[in-house]
Amino acid sequence: MAKILVTGGAGFIGSHVVDLFVAQGYEVVILDDLSTGHASNLNPAARFYQIDIRSPQVREVFEAEKPDYVSHHAAQMDVRRSVAQPLVDASINILGSINLLEYAKEFGVKRFVYISTGGAVYGEPEQLPCDEMHPINPICQYGASKHTVEHYLYMYYVNYGLRYTVLRYPNVFGPRQDPHGEAGVVSIFTGKMLSGEQVIIYGDGDQTRDFVYVGDCARANHLALTIDHQPGIYNLGWGRPTSINDIFSTLAKITGYTLPVQYGPAKVGETRHIYLDASKIKKDLGWVPTITLEEGLEKTVAYFKISEEVA
């Protein structure tokens, strides 16, 4: 069976991707510096290297493991941190990714799956839902850094034959979710509601996103490595909007939360409305989301309840 290197495999989404590949019988290697990932998320069936993706030590991992595929999830994924610390954001997301691409080229990786952001690369959309041909005009440093690597992937394919798939994630949510990053609102709200704390919505709450359950995103990674296709870029998403107010009301119903919502100032660099057309990946790879928003939120709340009991 093939061997897959998953960067960020101790993180929220990456750990679910690892679990799926392990369950499918693949040999899995995890590269994660645990700066935002958690050792508790590590799958015991995978080999783990605690290394920063910018480190020259990454070459030793490629040399020792010789992975057939790379699924690159490791990133600085907090929009607000990217605005406050753009040099850090660019260093991790751009230089770290180029470091991986160099070793993928050197050691003959068959396909490089790169996780980009459908929520931040397009900026304020000119039309909705956004398909892959929509103009790229990010309004935050995170969106710019993630998109930059998409150009490098194309160059490495044209110049060196490294096949790639870009998955532009929507707002992903589910068990193990970190309160940082684009869809952190679900985990933040869930944690506060379960502990009876005040929930604050930044902005008027009418801003909309495309929320997709983490298990559906893991499946897209599996399809990207098992179905032959031309190198390219794919959106994931439902293609329909969900407002932050809707997330609040649905979670309040699931958790029994009764406090009224409070509103705070909107955050700089955050897109007002974004949802994605995923018809291309449906056509090429057969991917469609399967877990509804309410079903996914119920699974997430159940996970948080168990986590609190364990803690």
Q: If you classify domain 184-206+241-272+302-310 with CATH, what class do you get?
A: alpha beta
Instruction: Look at the block and give the residue holding tokens 């080999």.
Output: 47
Q: What is the pLDDT of residue 181?
A: 53
Q: What is the pLDDT of residue 311?
A: 52
Residue 142 is a catalytic residue: yes
d(CA 234, CA 283): 11
Residues 6+ apart with CB under 8 A from 150: 114, 116, 121, 166, 233
Q: What is the pLDDT of residue 138?
A: 94
Q: What is the pLDDT of residue 269?
A: 73
- Across the chain, mean pLDDT equals 95
pLDDT for 56-110, tens place per residue?
999 999 999 999 999 999 999 988 899 999 999 999 999 999 999 999 999 999 9
Delimiting residues of CATH 3.40.50.720 domain(s) in the chain: 3-174+211-239+276-290
Instruction: Tell me the backbone φ, ψ of residue 303, rounded to 5 degrees.
Output: -65, -45
Buried b (16+ CB within 10 A) or exposed e, 255-265: bebeeebeeee
178 pLDDT tier (thresholds 50, 70, 90): confident
286 pLDDT tier (thresholds 50, 70, 90): very high
How far is residue 249 CA from its own chain's centroid?
Answer: 24
pLDDT for 116-147, tens place per residue?
999 899 999 999 999 999 999 999 999 999 99
Report the relative pairing of strands 208-209 and 242-243 from DSSP bridges: antiparallel
Mean pLDDT calculated for residue range 178-191: 78
DSSP one-letter code for 260: P
Q: What is the pLDDT of residue 298?
A: 98
CATH number assigned to the domain with residue range 3-174+211-239+276-290, chosen from the 4 options 3.40.50.12590, 3.10.450.50, 3.40.50.720, 3.40.30.10: 3.40.50.720
267 pLDDT tier (thresholds 50, 70, 90): confident
Report the relative pairing of strands 232-235 and 200-202 from DSSP bridges: unpaired
pTM for this predicted structure? 0.95
Catalytic-labelled residue, pool 142, 156, 213, 257: 142
